[in-house]
Amino acid sequence: MVTFPFHNAGAQVVTIRTIESSCGCTIAQIDRKVIAPGEDGELVAVFTPSERVGRQEKSLTVSTDEPGIGPVLLWLKIQIPELISISPRSLQWNAGEQKLEKRIVITSNINAAVFIDLGNTRKSGVVCHLEPSVDRKSYVLVVKPPSTGYPQREVISFKVTSGEIVQAYTALAVIN
């Protein structure tokens, strides 16, 4: 949430006609649309990151009825950290290799617990389960193929949550 204060320094009433967002992830709330001379107000921008990571730049375009003044562009710039690191990103078995379990280590990149939801990752029979640490700052994703007798690929999708932040990740299990 970002607050943009404003002040009507003119001699005329100003009406805010429209506020347009560059993305559905950003909404604007305003305390009033009609601002008398000398009055102050606030526009509050709320950004919902959903599954976004990295640098995000979103804008709001504010149009008024003030003569000679074009639309005003307001920017929200934020860096959203990746919640976790995954190592390795893929597992591989060779054809005919024993179908032993292999592991992916998932580690929190933030100083907070993360919660992982594997969802439905068992389409081809690959079996997955999580072994969380006590503090939930790291996990081991254990993966076992149903067979190594034929080539197959399984995308293992999961969601990671910490507080209100939710991010989607994938890992890959490959049998050559």
Average confidence (pLDDT) per 10 residues, the chain, 176 residues: 93 96 94 95 90 89 93 93 86 90 89 75 73 84 87 83 79 80
Domain tally for the chain? 2
Tokens of 81: 């950290």
For residue 31, how many other CB atoms are within 10 A of its CB? 10
Instruction: Judge if 35 and 92 occupy the same domain.
Output: no
Instruction: Judge if 60 and 7 occupy the same domain.
Output: yes
Please say which residue of 80, 110, 133 terminates a domain: 80
Whether residue 145 has a cis bond before it, omega within 30° of 0 = no
The pLDDT value given to residue 127 = 84
Report how far residue 176's alpha carbon sits from residue 93's, in angstroms, rounded to the nearest whole number.
7
Instruction: Judge if 19 and 66 occupy the same domain.
Output: yes
Report how far residue 154's alpha carbon sits from residue 127's, in angstroms, rounded to the nearest whole number.
10
Report how far residue 10's alpha carbon sits from residue 60's, in angstroms, rounded to the nearest whole number.
22
Q: Where are the beta strands (DSSP E) in 39-95?
A: 40-47, 54-64, 72-80, 84-87, 90-93
Report how far residue 48's alpha carbon sits from residue 25's, in angstroms, rounded to the nearest whole number.
5
Instruction: Judge if 74 and 26 occupy the same domain.
Output: yes
- What is the domain extent for residue 171? 84-175
- The alpha carbon torsion through 157, 161, 164, 166 (nearest 10 deg) reads -20
Please say which residue of 47, 80, 113 terminates a domain: 80
- Cβ-contact 36, 9 below 8 angstroms: no
Instruction: Judge if 57 and 97 occupy the same domain.
Output: no
The pLDDT value given to residue 121 = 56
Instruction: Judge if 67 and 118 occupy the same domain.
Output: no
The pLDDT value given to residue 26 = 94
| CATH, residue 135 | 2.60.40.10
